[in-house]
Amino acid sequence: MKISSLPGGVIVAAIAAISFGTSGALVKPMLEAGWSPTAAVTARAWTAGLVLLPFALYSLRGRWGALWRGRWRVLGMGIVGVAGTQLAYFAALQTIPVSTALLIEFLAPLILVGFVWVTTKRMPRRTVLLGSALAVGGLLLVIGPGAIRAVDPMGVLFAFGAAIACAVFFVVAARPTEGLPPIALAAFGLLVGGTALGLLGLTGLLPFTASFLDLSLLGTVVPWWAPLLALAIISTALAYVAGITAAGILGSRLASFVGLLEVIFASLFAWLLLGEVLTPLQLLGGLLILGGIAAVGEERVELAAEALSPDEPGLPHAHGDAHDDAHSDAHGDAHGENDEAARSDEATAGASAQEISTGVGSSMVGGFSTTSRTSERPSEPGKL
């Protein structure tokens, strides 16, 4: 099975979701030891960027032109994908509960569905609408029915800002590579985002404190750098490289739906590592999310089947060409070229998102969040 195939892309996206899902369990001991969220995010991004930097330089092999051509993607990934979501998410937490902020932030896939609908003026297929409904219902059960309540409007606005930033992250990750390897985009994006967060922390607009004392992890006293290193390597470096790779294969919309698995894995890790209760409703919610992902993924299968359907009688030679074209469209290639059949409805969204990300390069927009299933206490959103 090729990584560039649909099943391969889903597996890579699932690896990203599992990696992102460990962030809450790993960052919680740091927060309890005195780290502020901004300081933890900054240290995490910078450490992960430095870990990836040698591999990124090797992947480029001196092709600095590719890095220059992809400069807007790097800026979008860093300022939007790493820093932007954190600012919006933590601002939301000042006035609304954690569960509410997370529920709104993880509506990013629906934002992508709606954006494509508006920009292409084409109603999504019933499978996509069904998948969206199942995913939202699953999110509500996993995060908690109490997430829907009367809350401060400004907090809701900031949470929606985080959701939009998360959607932009997937769009930026799914853009044509132009020779820029995913590992290079992840490394330089994390360094840019970490720098932006660090500068913000130094301004004093957000609390920026760190503790260098030993802390408790999995019932054992460990040095302060142990959870940070695990957070940087597993929950950040691996997660970002896998997430960017998966978005290039699956497209932004399907990748964002598979990314909802992060909520499920975050709850599982909180249960296994932190002893938090995993309720039957959460398990049911996880099944609904899986059903939603399957429904949205079915759209690509339907489009591929339509592309492979026989031509009208009397055009026998056109069938072979159509078959070859459809096969190519259904699978794409390992360099991230988008298939015309399966992702035609994302073309306009991608072009518009490019304008968003380039504009963000000089201002701000993102998809970096951490998810911890701790009810009503500030944990990091999923892709922190």
Contacts of 27 (CB under 8 A, 6+ apart): 40, 44, 227, 231, 235, 370, 372, 379, 380, 384
Beta-carbon neighbour count of residue 153 at 10 Å? Answer: 10
Cα of 242 vs its chain's centroid, Å: 10
228's tokens: 């940070």
Residues recorded for the chain: 384
Per-residue pLDDT, 153:
85
147: pLDDT confidence band, cut at 50, 70 and 90?
low
Average pLDDT over residues 2-14: 84
213's tokens: 């004392």
With 70 as the cut, is the pLDDT of residue 352 above it?
no
Distance, CA of 365 to CA of 367 (rounded, Å): 9
Per-residue pLDDT, 314:
42
End-to-end CA distance of the chain: 31
Cα of 162 vs its chain's centroid, Å: 12
Considering the chain, what percentage of its residues have pLDDT values greater than 90? 25
Per-residue pLDDT, 192:
96
129's tokens: 């609408």
57's tokens: 């330089």
Average pLDDT over residues 163-167: 90
With 60 as the cut, is the pLDDT of residue 228 above it?
yes
Contacts of 203 (CB under 8 A, 6+ apart): none
With 80 as the cut, is the pLDDT of residue 298 above it?
no
With 90 as the cut, is the pLDDT of residue 91 above it?
no
Average pLDDT over residues 42-56: 95
**Per mean pLDDT, which range of 119-133, 148-162, 299-313 is the poorest?**
299-313
- More reliable by pLDDT, 117 or 279: 117
For residue range 96-134, what is the model confidence (pLDDT) as tens digits?
A: 877 778 888 888 888 888 888 888 888 888 888 898 899
300: pLDDT confidence band, cut at 50, 70 and 90?
low
Considering the chain, what percentage of its residues have pLDDT values greater than 70? 76
Per-residue pLDDT, 187:
96
With 60 as the cut, is the pLDDT of residue 375 above it?
no
Per-residue pLDDT, 1:
62
Distance, CA of 142 to CA of 30 (rounded, Å): 24
364: pLDDT confidence band, cut at 50, 70 and 90?
very low
Per-residue pLDDT, 308:
56
Per-residue pLDDT, 146:
66
With 90 as the cut, is the pLDDT of residue 223 above it?
yes
